[in-house]
Amino acid sequence: MSESNIELTILMPCLNESETLAICIKKATAYLAENNIAGEVLVADNGSDDGSQEIARLNGARVIDVPIRGYGAALIAGSNAALGTYVIMGDADDSYDFSNLNPFVEKLREGYELVMGNRFKGGIEKGAMPPLHRYLGNPVLSFVGRVLFKIPIGDFHCGLRGYNKESMQKLNLHTTGMEYASEMVVAASIHGLKFTEVPTALKKDGRTRAPHLNTWNDGWRHLKFLLAYAPNWLYLIPAAVLALIGVFAFASSFFDIAIEDSYKINSLIYGAFFIVLAVTVTEFWTIAKLYGVSSGLFCVKNKFIEKISNKDNTFIFVGALAFLASLIALVSQFIEWGKGGFSELNMYNSVLYTITASLVLAVSLQSVLFGFVLYILRQSTKRQ
């Protein structure tokens, strides 16, 4: 069989899977033969020391060694080495049925670039998935992914999925750990790949050792990835909430919503604090969006962000003028106080003046520094 004629690569990441690897390869090989599919079984070995590599070769699989540890690293290397037009990846622990891959192949041949398995629709055998994963981890993370990215996928973390190799390589996936499962789905959505899902059965794996998956650590890595790739949710929406709270707290002191001066002073302090936080978070959002677009992580450009990226001088000079004005105002207040012999001041009026000027001082200094960050980002973009 010529390498150029291979339609399907069945890819199995492997780290010490000697107990189940042979049966997985036999099922995959039999599937290819029974369905007259020109294909190969490829094992991406991630440093096994239990003889998995030899087992794979003896059972007719092609083996590549992947020195970089991690689930994502193994799959990225395996995908790059695959000879097939399509790739179906699946764990080598005998939890997925490699003898029933037709639903994936049919969808790939129809033109879908990513075909996800859905274990919740296909059936989960008793004991195949820990209750914490089945009823909390997977549903919650999948829900978060659907909300943040508007992706109609019910099972973000199914280990059995198929994809068009050429389309997937264009995404330039790079995460090396378990969060690779989320990155593939999110990147496919961001870049407009055509994807769907098919029911997939999950049975209890055949291993006697503990799984490689670390519930809390890998769960956090998935969640962190999802949030980092959704800057509007991570930064912009919280910034809007902080700004509303800050403005309301500040305004309450001016419109007699607060009754006593002591409450008004507290309201001013908290209002100023939340406004500064809102400005800070908004600047982080801008930086994240700029870097995400320039680096290719987010391919959807934002016209507002594009305009902001060229306004570094505006932020620097306007911020500098506002900083100077607020500094002069604070010094003038102190001088006037000195001229009056440092006599007792009206507490509320004094605090109102000081906090307002300090707020402008803080925000204007942030503006100046933010302008320089924009300049650095634009220079780095030109070098790419």
Average pLDDT of every residue of the chain: 89
Q: Range with the lowest mean pLDDT among 8-22, 50-64, 161-175, 284-298?
A: 284-298
CB atoms within 10 A of CB 239: 20
3-class SS of residue 260: coil
Closest by CA position to 116, among listed 166, 179, 158: 158
For residue 303, the model assigns a pLDDT of 72
Q: What is the pLDDT of residues 102-125, one digit of tens each?
A: 999 999 999 999 999 999 999 999
Q: What is the pLDDT of residues 26-49, one digit of tens each?
A: 999 999 999 999 999 999 999 999
For residue 145, the model assigns a pLDDT of 92
Q: Are strands 8-14 and 114-118 parallel, antiparallel or unpaired?
A: unpaired
Cα gap 298→23, rounded to integer Å: 40
Cα gap 168→178, rounded to integer Å: 17
**Model confidence at 381: pLDDT above 80:** no
> Could you state, in order of their start, the residue ranges of all structural domains in the chain?
3-228, 231-383
Cα gap 88→105, rounded to integer Å: 8
1 versus 91: the higher-pLDDT residue is 91
Q: Measure CA 218 to chain center.
A: 13
Most confident of the ranges 72-86, 207-221, 315-329, 341-355: 72-86
**Model confidence at 259: pLDDT above 60:** no
For residue 255, the model assigns a pLDDT of 66
Cα gap 291→222, rounded to integer Å: 21
Over residues 164-193, the mean pLDDT reads 92
Which residue in this structure is represented by tokens 């973390």? Answer: 157
Cα gap 146→151, rounded to integer Å: 5
pLDDT category, 344, cuts 50, 70, 90?
A: low
The DSSP call for residue 4 is G
pLDDT category, 13, cuts 50, 70, 90?
A: very high
- Any idea which fold 3-228 has? Spore Coat Polysaccharide Biosynthesis Protein SpsA; Chain A (3.90.550)
Q: Residue 313 corresponds to which tokens in the numbers above?
A: 């001088």
Cα gap 17→211, rounded to integer Å: 10
Among the residues of the chain, which ranges form H helices? 21-34, 52-58, 71-81, 102-109, 119-122, 131-132, 138-149, 165-169, 180-190, 215-228, 231, 237-252, 261-295, 303-309, 312-339, 347-383
